[in-house]
């Protein structure tokens, strides 16, 4: 019912900034809460940040501290992840996800739809 397509990944140096975006199509975008997850080689997919359906609530994981910021533009059916001061340990495939409950969840099993991911590689 919802298709998600991530973009904006690439190869950067430690300390650089990068902005990811996720465009949605299908069912009304504002009806879903959105989350960003990442998966590094050999590791499980982990929660990065989430935003409620209205955008009034946001939550970021302790692993990224205050370096990453999530936002959404319902008029454009797009969710963003602004990443600052990137570190080598941020290297992973980044995924956006949507859930119909319209609330932020930190576990992958709570999300109904997933994008294909975009690779972010941070060199030392």
> 32-68 pLDDT, tens per residue?
889 999 999 999 999 999 998 888 899 999 888 789 9
Query: CB 64: neighbour CB atoms within 10 A?
Result: 23
Quote the CA–CA distance of 93 and 96 in Å, as a whole number: 10
Nearest to 38 by CA among 13, 15, 18: 18
Confidence bin at 122 (pLDDT 50/70/90): very high
């Amino acid at each position: 019912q919802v298709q998600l397509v991530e973009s904006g990944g690439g190869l950067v140096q430690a300390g650089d900034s990068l902005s990811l975006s996720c465009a949605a199509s299908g069912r009304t975008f504002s009806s879903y809460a959105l989350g960003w997850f990442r998966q590094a080689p050999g590791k499980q997919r982990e929660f990065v940040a989430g935003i409620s359906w209205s955008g009034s609530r946001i939550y970021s994981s302790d692993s990224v501290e205050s370096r990453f910021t999530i936002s959404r533009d319902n008029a454009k059916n797009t969710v963003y992840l602004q990443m600052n001061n990137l570190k080598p340990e941020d290297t992973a495939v980044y995924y956006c996800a949507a859930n119909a409950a319209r609330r932020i969840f930190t576990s992958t099993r709570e999300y109904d739809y997933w994008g294909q991911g975009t690779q972010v590689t941070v060199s030392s």
